[in-house]
């Protein structure tokens, strides 16, 4: 865990250490791919692996060529890493070094990033700036778009991310818990549903979400569209809620930042990929309580051009199975199960969502859904065995 050429771990190691460089070299990406040559080098051009962004077991920023920088930046700066515009990836990967705000001796001049997409250059989005402010930090953010020599650069290990690191290191969790949104008071109803129904087609969701929302309203839930509200309002709502239901997605990353063990979270799977496992880990680790997870898909639909499970997928909800699970876990009262979608209703949803014609969606292979069902069964068995072992102790 101490070797920075190996994946950062939530248990500690280099992910909780800080290195300081003089006359560091910072290299933004030149290509817009998932994996990009980019990052930090020492003054002599030797690569600084502590500055890399890892996802799971692999770095997605790799050692770049290190020509002489074309720009200079004076002062003492905190390395922020890769600046994502995608909200969920920003939360999971662009915030991962902010834990160091509690561990830096002496003043610094700002937080330094490189863009994920080269075409965005030095632009800083409003929500990115606001997140830093909500961390109790009024330092400027700078994104460098050309190779830059930095007088002093503080490089913290990556304390958060996707994969195993979604649990966060202890220093990262501590920083979030006592800094993020600290001054925002709870404000809102006790029951909320975090909706994806107003998002663009390419964001993915579930078929039957409007029906789900109608049923939840009848049980006293407010339908909340996070993207329509400021970050401050989102935090206030999340702090106030006692029960939260959501389809897996970026909103739950945000909720986890302020979640508590006295809150009950129900997460509905919208796809058969393993992405939701990271969300479960994030929620459990930061809240101190496991979310209740509902896998109630009859099928999964994806763009015809790439018929595999992805962020663009639409899961076809089995509302009857979902209502049964919500009743068992105490999210809704009564014993009346919701009716399943008819074929006619599904076809109407396809038309309404624009999933036909040139934008046609097709069913993801049945074997993918079956594999996910088997994984869920195994997860339940593991949880049951763990609970039985705790009782014996």
**Which ranges of 259-335 does DSSP label H, i.e. alpha helix?**
275-287, 319-328
Confidence band for 375, pLDDT divided at 50, 70 and 90: low
Query: CA angle, 191 as apex, 261 and 254 as ends, to 5°?
Result: 55
Please report the pLDDT score of residue 391 as a whole number: 57
Q: Above 80 in pLDDT, residue 180?
A: yes
Distance CA 245, CA 263 (A): 11
Quick one: angle between helices 231-240 and 250-258, nearest 10?
Answer: 60
Please report the pLDDT score of residue 344 as a whole number: 84
When mean pLDDT is compared across 99-103, 133-137, 383-387, the lowest value belongs to 383-387
Confidence band for 310, pLDDT divided at 50, 70 and 90: low
Residue 171 Cα distances to 67, 103, 109, 130, 160, angstroms: 34, 9, 22, 21, 10
- For the chain, the domains span 14-179, 191-299+308-343
Q: What's the average model confidence in pLDDT over 220-230? A: 96
pLDDT digits (tens, 9 = 90+) for 92-127: 999 999 999 999 999 999 999 999 999 999 999 999
Q: Above 60 in pLDDT, residue 368?
A: no
Q: Above 50 in pLDDT, residue 366?
A: no
From the list 309, 316, 308, 298, the residue with the least C-alpha distance to 353 is 316
Q: Above 60 in pLDDT, residue 387?
A: yes
Q: Which residue has the tokens 């990353």?
A: 253
Average pLDDT, the chain: 90
Q: Above 90 in pLDDT, residue 308?
A: no
Q: Above 80 in pLDDT, residue 393?
A: no
Please report the pLDDT score of residue 184 as a whole number: 97
- Cβ atoms of 218 and 193 within 8 Å: the answer is no
Please report the pLDDT score of residue 349 as a whole number: 76
Specify the CATH number for 191-299+308-343; select among 2.70.98, 3.30.200, 3.90.550, 3.40.50: 3.40.50
């Amino acid at each position: 865990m101490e070797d920075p050429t190996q994946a950062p771990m939530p248990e500690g190691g280099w992910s909780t250490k800080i290195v300081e460089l003089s006359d560091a070299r910072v290299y933004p990406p030149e290509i817009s791919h998932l994996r990009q040559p980019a990052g930090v080098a020492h003054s002599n051009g030797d690569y600084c692996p502590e500055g890399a962004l890892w996802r799971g077991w692999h770095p997605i920023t790799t050692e770049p060529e290190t020509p002489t920088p074309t720009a200079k930046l004076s002062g003492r700066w905190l390395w922020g890493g890769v600046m994502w515009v995608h909200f969920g990836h920003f939360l999971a990967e662009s915030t991962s070094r902010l834990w160091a705000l509690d561990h830096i001796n002496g003043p610094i001049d700002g937080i330094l990033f490189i863009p994920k997409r080269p075409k965005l250059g030095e632009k800083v989005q409003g929500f990115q700036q606001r997140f830093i402010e909500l961390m109790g930090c009024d330092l400027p953010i700078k994104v460098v778009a050309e190779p830059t020599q930095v007088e002093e650069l503080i490089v913290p290990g990556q304390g958060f991310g996707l994969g195993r690191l979604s649990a966060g290191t202890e220093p990262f969790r501590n920083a979030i818990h006592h800094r993020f949104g600290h001054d925002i008071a709870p404000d809102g109803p006790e029951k909320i549903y975090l909706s994806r129904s107003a998002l663009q087609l390419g964001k993915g969701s579930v078929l039957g979400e409007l029906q789900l929302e109608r049923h939840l309203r009848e049980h006293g839930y407010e339908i909340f569209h996070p993207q329509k509200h400021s970050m401050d309002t989102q935090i206030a709502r999340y702090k106030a809620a006692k029960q939260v239901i959501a389809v897996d997605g970026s909103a739950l990353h945000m909720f986890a930042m302020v979640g508590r063990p006295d809150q009950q979270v129900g997460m509905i799977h919208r796809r058969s990929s393993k992405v939701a496992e990271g969300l479960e880990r994030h929620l459990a680790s930061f809240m101190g309580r496991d979310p209740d997870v509902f896998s109630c898909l009859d099928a999964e639909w994806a763009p015809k051009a790439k018929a595999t499970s992805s962020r663009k997928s639409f899961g076809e909800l089995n509302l009857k199975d979902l209502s049964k699970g919500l009743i068992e876990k105490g999210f809704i009262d009564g014993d009346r199960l919701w009716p399943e979608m008819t074929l006619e209703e599904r076809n109407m949803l396809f038309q309404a969502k624009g999933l036909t014609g040139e934008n046609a969606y097709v069913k993801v292979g049945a074997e993918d859904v079956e594999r996910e069902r088997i994984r869920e069964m195994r997860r339940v068995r593991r949880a049951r065995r763990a609970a039985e072992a705790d009782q014996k102790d």
